[in-house]
Structure 1
Amino acid sequence: MARVPYLSQADLKPEDQPLLARDISLHKALVNNPGAARAFSGLGGYIRHKSVLNPRLRELAILQVGWLARSPYEWSHHVKIGYDFGVTDDDIVALIAETNGEATALEPIARLVLKAAREIHAGPGIGYETFAALRAALDTESIIDLVVTASFYCAVVRLLASLEIDVEESYMPYLKKYPFPV
């Protein structure tokens, strides 16, 4: 159960009601502070709709952070969203294997993006060797978007855990398909 109430559009001022255009638990909790919800949605919206980073690579980076953080909400939501942007079941299995240090058939750029996301998650940021490899593979704008994306989702998983945001029932099948290790 979340640590803050889940609000509905009826609980909000008319000018704040559009903040719940996506009827998900995270947004229902964040609208307890409409200003924070707007700020959060601004960067999240940029990442989803305006980032120049390849969308499949973006979703792999987000999934990597969700997997490392053992964030049920983030993981389940972005398995579903990832499918919409070209992430396959083979990609997800490979992500899990890559996290465990196992060799996979993922293409080099996907492996590099996952490594960068792991380094960002571990902190303090991407190492020199990995960054040099990114420079050889991506343009500067895409690298910035990768760093912003992985860093933002490191914050998101901490927000989700701190507020104990519940996974909606419709996302539970993704957790069952790809459960976290015990």
Structure 2
Amino acid sequence: MRLGPPDPTSFDDEQRRVHDLIASGPRGRVRGPLAIWLHRPALAEAAQKLGAYCRYGSSLEPRLSELAILTMATVWQSEFEWWAHKPIALKAGLGADIVEALRSGAPPAFPDRETETVHAVTIALSTQRRLTDALYAQADAVLGPDRLVDLVGLCGYYTLISMTLNAFEVPLPEGERAELTGL
């Protein structure tokens, strides 16, 4: 890891406040990119609010948001993101066959238009940086405007997450094995 989390014994008042705010929320702890962001507690606080909305307040059902998150993890080859969200995705009802296809880079066989559309939008935004008119029309028809806006927001947030994890080479927890890159 290039930059680790700040040492909790040397937190200033703002770092301690933001750390405690995050730890007392639905995440229950501070790790990964949130821990890195504590070097800049205002960023950590703002980002965690956006993340809390994307994870817990979105109009996307958890299986769809977790599909988008795992898709982002594969695009960015973000092992920590994959490690953190794979069990959440499976628990949320995303099929193990879809998870394995994402991990291996095989085309997933989606059971419905919603999952197919979420994946297509996430891939297009991540690789082409835009949606074609046809994909936009499909996403609008299948997801509706509220879920489409939330999906785009989630993709933006997990781009920030992925960039942070990759830029600072945040490692997996001790004893965990990389699944995307095999490292």
TM-based fold match above 0.5: yes
- Partner Cα distance (2:68, 2:101) in 1: 13
Matches within 5 A, 1:24-35: 24-35=31-42
Among residues 147, 154, 165, which one is paired with 2:170 in the alignment?
Answer: 165
Determine whether 1:41 maps to 2:54: no
Q: 1:35 to 1:74 in 2, by over 3 A?
A: same
Name the structure 2 match of 1:84.
91
Contact 1:8 1:20 in 2 (8 A): no
- Partner Cα distance (2:46, 2:148) in 1: 22
- Partner Cα distance (1:181, 1:5) in 2: 23
- 1:30 Cα shift? 1.2
Runs of 4+ in 1 over 6 A off after TM superposition: none
Name the structure 1 match of 2:114.
109
Name the structure 1 match of 2:3.
4
Contact 2:63 2:92 in 1 (8 A): yes
Q: 1:59 to 1:169 in 2, by over 3 A?
A: same
Q: Secondary structure of 1:58's partner? A: helix
Name the structure 2 match of 1:16.
18
Contact 1:19 1:37 in 2 (8 A): no
- Partner Cα distance (2:19, 2:119) in 1: 36
1:123-181 per-residue CA deviation (whole Å, 9 max, x = no partner) reads: 322221111111111221111001111122122211211121122236x25x3xx4347
Structure 1 range deviating more: 7-16 or 56-65: 7-16
Among residues 139, 143, 146, which one is paired with 2:144 in the alignment?
Answer: 139
Q: 1:161 to 1:40 in 2, by over 3 A?
A: same
Contact 1:91 1:106 in 2 (8 A): no
Aligned length: 175
Name the structure 2 match of 1:179.
180
Contact 1:94 1:106 in 2 (8 A): no
Name the structure 2 match of 1:53.
60
- Partner Cα distance (1:94, 1:52) in 2: 25
Determine whether 1:123 maps to 2:123: no
Determine whether 1:156 maps to 2:158: no
Instruction: Name the TM-score, length of structure 2 as normaliser.
Output: 0.84
Q: 1:136 to 1:53 in 2, by over 3 A?
A: same
Instruction: Name the TM-score, length of structure 1 as normaliser.
Output: 0.84
Look up the equivalent residue of 1:62 and give its one-letter code.
I
- 1:24 Cα shift? 1.5
Cα RMSD after superposing both structures: 2.3
